[in-house]
Chains A and B, each alone.
Chain A
Amino acid sequence: MNAGSPDDRALLERTVGEIMADHCPPEIVAAAEGSWDEPLWAALAEAGMSTVGVPEHLGGSGGEPADAAAVLRVVAAHAGPVPLAEALFPVAAGCAVSGLAFPEGPSTVAVGPGLTIRRTAAGVVLDGTAPRVPYARFASRILVAGDGGGDHPELVALLDPAHLTLAIGDNLAGEPRDDLVAAGSEISTSDVAEVPAGTAAQLHRLGALARAVQIAAALGMVLELTVRYAGQREQFGRPIGRFQAVAHQVAVLAGLAAAAGAAADAAVASLSRSSDPAGHRLAVAAAKARTSAAAGPAARIAHQVHGAIGFTQEHRLHHLTRRLWSWREEFGSDEHWAAELGRAVLTAGPDELWPTITRI
């Protein structure tokens, strides 16, 4: 695939949209809670959508980060219960930087300050805990990244979860989030590679970027559902959207959604500007901080407008709002990333504030 132009991206979105329409109705999303939906993943993989943005020499479909984001956006807007965000951003980047082949099956990433990974004669020694690894128990491979420990170089490894200890858990939306627990265990693998220092932090950041894209997409769909409902639901003889108080709340929701979309898009674009890695780091921090901070107020408005029906299992709004309430915390909350951004801004000083904003 030669993705890249806006037209190609529109085609990509249409392709994924058709797959989601066929394979991801609300019943499928509901049934996948506490699990995942393998047929959906297979359909996306079949169409090459699970490897968009992954370089072709690593087994991917090629394309730019913006193409991967376009695919992810459509899947997230439909609350697709598949580990695509993890594969398309952190796993793809981990493979690109290490030269490891991109896994064929569903893959995810385990990264965290509590994890060390070193190579020994017998294999790879993994120590510590990576909490709440997305879809770990259903992944064919987990890309593990962590501190090399002491003076050792930083390593990444592609591991089979069958050889790992997982403590099963889910997020608020029933998406699998398993703790990976390793107590100095040796894991036999050939899929291990040395990577530049800072790779683990970058993979965590790309997880945050992927969540920012997902949140923005979910907010777009939440707005869509809310506009539709406010236009159809009648009370006191007219659609509730005609009431100024309701209309203004929907306009506020539109603002939150528009800003989240712009922030996520800009952070994705920053990934392509390899000449400015510091700017990319700040852009992702700003995007995850903004999208995560928007998730709560936006979900509140959507539920308020939907009234009691939106609070039921029967209505599909919660497929998105429960994801928003989870995704805003994952790979670092708004507070986590605001702290990183704020520290950087304060350290650079007042004269650098505006130049930084125009650069990133």
Chain B
Amino acid sequence: MPTMSSTTATIRLPDAGLPPAAEALRGEVREFLRVERDRGTIQSTSDAWLAGFDAGFSGRLGDRGWLGMTWPRRYGGHEQPSLHRFVVIEELLAAGAPVVAHWVTDRQSGPALLRYGTEEQRRRLLPEMARGRSFFAIGMSEPDSGSDLASVRTTARRDGAGWRLNGTKVWTSQAHHCDYMIALCRSSPRDDDARHDGLSQFIVDLRSPGLTISPIRLLDGEHHFNEVLLEDVFVGDDMVLGDVGSGWSQVTSELAFERSGPERFLSTLPLLVALVRVADPDDRRQAVAIGQLVAQLWTLRRLSVQIAAALDRGEAPDVAAALVKDLGTTLENEIIDVARSVAPTEPSATAADPFARELARAVLHAPGFTLRGGTNEVLRGIVARRLGLR
């Protein structure tokens, strides 16, 4: 007879709370956000972590010591516990604050540099990143490489004391505003029997000669994504990230940072807040629909705290992280459905009614929720594999 053993152990993490010091920090962050809201820098709109680029805001966060929080002091970091960083980011996300400028830099580029960068790279690049003055973009996807990242075709060819990069990167968020892109390239020819070999990562200055950035507009016309064309772009040996040929293992560990955070269920929280503003507490149907959403949101946040605590203990809760992303992005969409049913409104970006504007924004951004950071189908595959099915 089966016991509550392997499967349960795979998906189940111990309940966790946040330490009192982290909760105290929460108060400071809320006060900071109140001031920012008063000065009009926070619009509290859905999907602000994709679309809200404000270098000044990121700079003020850096000045408060809320970027690179966990990094060593010698690289400009603040050596804070990771659970403190968790509190800061969940408060920023819940507020719909414009975090885009530093988002990738703080979440994955910095940690990747800390893990794989040379001492010289860390000393030169990390302090400005932690100050919120230097911003990084991701250079992984290509026109023919979405979920299947090992199929990247951008090449890196040896040239004297460096490399020449040729190829095209796409979906490069905010490349038109950022300073650097960490590009995954094929540095030796593809071997079909070992397709994960021969990949390397390069830190590319986005102002390099031979590099052309052009917009890929979202369906609502907004410009966040770019195509980055690399034509004989030179990258010196001092800007190789990690070991030549180890790109695959480096990016997969980087993607783990991308998957587990509260951004995976908070994208439409501003719409839910707007819904609470217009709903009627005495209407039972509305109360039930909103109560069900709040119950899910609360549950996912508790799971997310569990994951943060597990990461803090040095564990790698990849299945739980994949599940949160799957459940969370589904909830982000469900919030839209409930909003439509509880408060029927024609969504419009030009409406005077803020609820109609918020709904419009959420509807038009929703297709991205279940794509970015690994499609939900890829994530379900990861979960099934870890459960021993595939």
Residues of A that sit less than 8 Å from B by CB:
6, 13, 17, 21, 25-26, 66, 73-74, 77, 217, 220-221, 223-225, 227-228, 230-231, 239, 241-242, 244, 246-248, 250-252, 254-255, 257-259, 261-263, 265-266, 268-269, 283, 285-287, 289-290, 293, 334-335, 337-343, 345-347, 349-350, 353-354, 357-358, 360
Contact B4 A248 (CB under 8 A): no
B19 interface residue per 8 A CB criterion: no
A252 to B273, CA, bound (A): 27
Contact A341 B384 (CB under 8 A): no
Interface size on B, residues (CB 8 A): 60
A252 to B316, CA, bound (A): 21
Which residues of the partner chain A approach B377 to less than 8 Å between Cβ atoms?
A: 248
Name the contact of B276 in the complex, choosing from A221, A259, A346 (C-beta under 8 A).
A346
Which residues of the partner chain B approach A13 to less than 8 Å between Cβ atoms?
A: 4
Residues of B that sit less than 8 Å from A by CB:
1-5, 7-8, 11-15, 17, 26, 90, 94-95, 269, 272-274, 276-277, 279-281, 284, 286-292, 294-303, 306, 319-320, 323, 326-327, 377, 379-381, 383-384, 387-390
Contact B291 A289 (CB under 8 A): yes
A90 to B377, CA, bound (A): 42
Which of A248, A257, A335, A349 counts the most chain B CB atoms within 10 A? Answer: A248
A345 to B273, CA, bound (A): 10
Name the contact of B303 in the complex, choosing from A252, A262, A335, A358 (C-beta under 8 A).
A262
- Cross-chain pair count, CB within 8 angstroms: 193
Contact A342 B287 (CB under 8 A): yes
Q: A259-B323, A337-B291 are in contact. List 13 more A-B contacts (CB 8 A).
A: A217-B4, A255-B326, A255-B327, A258-B320, A258-B327, A265-B302, A290-B298, A337-B295, A341-B294, A341-B295, A342-B291, A345-B290, A353-B273
A254 to B389, CA, bound (A): 12
A263 to B292, CA, bound (A): 13
12 contacts between A and B (CB under 8 A): A25-B1, A74-B4, A259-B327, A261-B11, A266-B15, A266-B302, A290-B298, A338-B295, A339-B287, A346-B279, A347-B281, A353-B294
Which residues of the partner chain B approach A248 to less than 8 Å between Cβ atoms?
A: 377, 380-381, 384
* Chain B: CB-nearest residue to A348: B276
Which residues of the partner chain A approach B3 to less than 8 Å between Cβ atoms?
A: 17, 21
Which residues of the partner chain A approach B389 to less than 8 Å between Cβ atoms?
A: 227, 230-231, 239, 241-242, 246-247, 250
Contact A221 B294 (CB under 8 A): no
* Chain B: CB-nearest residue to A247: B384
* Chain B: CB-nearest residue to A354: B94
Which residues of the partner chain B approach A357 to less than 8 Å between Cβ atoms?
A: 294, 297-298, 301
A293 to B277, CA, bound (A): 25
Contact A343 B327 (CB under 8 A): no
Interchain nearest-CB distance for A254 vs B (Å):
5
Name the contact of B326 in the complex, choosing from A227, A251, A268 (C-beta under 8 A).
A251
Contact B294 A286 (CB under 8 A): yes
A221 to B280, CA, bound (A): 39
* With known contacts A251-B387, A259-B327, A289-B295, A221–B269 Cβ distance under 8 A: no
* With known contacts A251-B387, A338-B291, A223–B11 Cβ distance under 8 A: yes
* Chain A: CB-nearest residue to B325: A255
Which residues of the partner chain A approach B383 to less than 8 Å between Cβ atoms?
A: 251, 254-255
* Chain A: CB-nearest residue to B283: A346
Which of A247, A259, A268, A290 counts the most chain B CB atoms within 10 A? Answer: A259
Contact A224 B8 (CB under 8 A): yes
* Chain B: CB-nearest residue to A221: B4
Contact A263 B299 (CB under 8 A): yes
Interchain nearest-CB distance for B125 vs A (Å):
33
Which residues of the partner chain A approach B379 to less than 8 Å between Cβ atoms?
A: 251
Which residues of the partner chain B approach A335 to less than 8 Å between Cβ atoms?
A: 288
Interchain nearest-CB distance for B321 vs A (Å):
11
* Chain B: CB-nearest residue to A20: B3
Contact A21 B291 (CB under 8 A): no
Name the contact of A286 in the complex, choosing from B273, B284, B299 (C-beta under 8 A).
B299
Interchain nearest-CB distance for B290 vs A (Å):
4
A26 to B2, CA, bound (A): 11
Contact B291 A341 (CB under 8 A): yes
Which of B286, B326, B383, B389 counts the most chain A CB atoms within 10 A? Answer: B389
Name the contact of B299 in the complex, choosing from A246, A259, A350 (C-beta under 8 A).
A259
Which residues of the partner chain A approach B327 to less than 8 Å between Cβ atoms?
A: 255, 258-259
Interchain nearest-CB distance for B96 vs A (Å):
10
Across the A-B interface, give the 10 residue pairs with the lowest CB-CB distance, nearest first. Answer: A342-B291, A338-B291, A342-B287, A247-B384, A241-B389, A346-B281, A251-B380, A265-B15, A341-B291, A251-B383
A242 to B388, CA, bound (A): 10
Contact A290 B380 (CB under 8 A): no
Interchain nearest-CB distance for A284 vs B (Å):
11
Interchain nearest-CB distance for B174 vs A (Å):
26
Name the contact of A343 in the complex, choosing from B90, B281, B381 (C-beta under 8 A).
B281
Which residues of the partner chain A approach B90 to less than 8 Å between Cβ atoms?
A: 358
* Chain B: CB-nearest residue to A74: B4
Contact B292 A346 (CB under 8 A): no
Contact A254 B390 (CB under 8 A): no
Contact B306 A290 (CB under 8 A): no
Which residues of the partner chain A approach B276 to less than 8 Å between Cβ atoms?
A: 345-346, 349-350, 353
Interchain nearest-CB distance for A75 vs B (Å):
11
A353 to B273, CA, bound (A): 7
Name the contact of B2 in the complex, choosing from A228, A268, A285 (C-beta under 8 A).
A228
Contact A338 B292 (CB under 8 A): yes
Which residues of the partner chain A approach B388 to less than 8 Å between Cβ atoms?
A: 227, 231
Which residues of the partner chain B approach A73 to less than 8 Å between Cβ atoms?
A: 4
Name the contact of A293 in the complex, choosing from B13, B295, B297 (C-beta under 8 A).
B295
Which residues of the partner chain B approach A337 to less than 8 Å between Cβ atoms?
A: 291, 295
Contact B296 A290 (CB under 8 A): yes
